[in-house]
Amino acid sequence: MKTQVCIIGGGPSGLLLSQLLHLKGIDTVLLEKYSREYVLGRIRAGVLEHGFAKLMREAQCGERMDREGEIHEGIYIAHDKGMDRIDLHKHSGGSSVIVYGQTELTRDLYEARARMNGKVIHNVEDVTLHDLTSAAPYVTYREGDQIIRIDCDYVVGADGFHGVSRKSIPKDVLREYERVYPFGWLGVLSRTKPVSPELIYARHERGFALCSLRSQVLSRYYIQVPLEDSVEDWSDEAFWEELKRRLPDDVAARLITGPSIEKSIAPLRSFVAEPMRYGRLFLAGDAAHIVPPTGARGLNSAASDIYYLYHAVVDHYHKKDDSGLDGYSEKALARVWKAQRFSWWMTMLLHRFPAHIPYDQKLQDTELAYLLSSERAQQSLAENYIGLPF
């Protein structure tokens, strides 16, 4: 098989790039390790910034998002003295975010790829990248006992944190920066009316909690849990009880509970791999960087990578201009690090850290008091939460 760009990974990053390039007449083959149903079964992000939404529209995949997604102009921060609203719209000069689940967005991208006869190959095994620093790289994978080879001009590694692409870069070339947090998020999806029309980020002495949603009939809630906990340790009843304890009394009183339709634990991690290019391999999205979900930046950081990479590849084929490809890693990383900073800051502000000494706790109290009393601090939060320009 031969293609111009071989994309590894059928998550939102890989699918969006493949769709955008297709619309510019550039051929791609996309390899995904799992089935489409499996990928769509993963419940992940819920908050999209406008830059992402714009790219989805450019990819001709924005119609359902615009119809069913909810525009949110504020978030709540709950704490021991009550609940404050941060007006994202006012403090960002009129912007907002869209609440539309990653599952739905990924479904829209898969459907668009199918409509346009995109080459998306599922259930591939043993994906291996070859000759990345030569002018003729290629990728192989296994289908039963057959090895299939794909010759290409470029390889894009959009295969998430556990993928093979980043691991194909020699250790002496790649520098990794990492912080692992001493807790995870236990998430529950339930077919219940959300407790609040806007997201509530709750800081509590028992640990962080988040009230989010997918629609007016589908709620998504999270609580901070110790790393050692497993999903089996948490019955639905225990989850709802603990969530209520961490919310202001009036919010807890109106929380509607129900059976969980999905329950999972995600460890929290900050991670960046540099550079994001090795020869003819370009990394994008979670393959190159991870943030803790507190600032809702993960998927949105993937979007800016795809934006830069898409334009760079188009300039290469349409204008014979390689400056975008050559500058990709530096440009992408500059924005990635800003999302890292913001996600780390939100995480440090709102969680309980087992190792905190009383001094750290006082500083965290003061950081929150400052945020809630300062218009400028709220502007900074809003600017980052709605997404820095790219």
Q: Which residues make up the interface to ligand PHB (CB under 6 A)? A: 45-47, 199, 212, 220, 293-294, 296
Residue 109 beta carbon to ligand RFL: minimum distance, rounded to whole angstroms: 10
184 binding ligand RFL? (CB under 6 A)? no
Task: Give CA–CA dist 46/52, Å, rounded.
Answer: 12
11 binds, among ligand RFL, ligand PHB, none (CB under 5 to 8 A by kind): ligand RFL
Residue 315 beta carbon to ligand PHB: minimum distance, rounded to whole angstroms: 34
98 binds, among ligand PHB, ligand RFL, none (CB under 5 to 8 A by kind): none
Would you say the C-alpha torsion 198, 203, 206, 207 has a positive or negative sign? positive
9 binds, among ligand PHB, ligand RFL, none (CB under 5 to 8 A by kind): ligand RFL
Task: Give CA–CA dist 387/5, Å, rounded.
Answer: 28
13 or 270: whose CB is closer to ligand RFL?
A: 13
The answer to whether 309 and 155 have CB atoms below 8 angstroms apart is no
Helix 298-319 to helix 323-350 angle (10° resolution) is 180
Beta bridge partners of 178: 271
The answer to whether 75 and 25 have CB atoms below 8 angstroms apart is no
The answer to whether 310 and 326 have CB atoms below 8 angstroms apart is no
Which residue matches tokens 């980020």?
201
Residue 304 beta carbon to ligand RFL: minimum distance, rounded to whole angstroms: 11
Residue 51 CA: distances (Å) to CA of 152, 344, 387: 29, 21, 8
42 or 356: whose CB is closer to ligand RFL?
A: 42
Segment near ligand RFL (CB under 6 A); pick from 156-164, 176-184, 198-206, 344-352: 156-164
Residue 359 beta carbon to ligand RFL: minimum distance, rounded to whole angstroms: 31
137 binds, among ligand PHB, ligand RFL, none (CB under 5 to 8 A by kind): none
155 or 296: whose CB is closer to ligand PHB?
A: 296
The answer to whether 289 and 336 have CB atoms below 8 angstroms apart is yes
The pair phi, psi for residue 356, each rounded to 5°, is -65, 135
Q: Pull the structure tokens for residue 375.
A: 């218009």
299 binds, among ligand PHB, ligand RFL, none (CB under 5 to 8 A by kind): ligand RFL
Question: Which residues in this chain contact ligand RFL in the complex, by CB under 6 A?
Answer: 8-14, 31-34, 39, 44-47, 102, 124, 127, 158-160, 162-164, 185, 187, 266, 285-286, 293, 296-300, 302
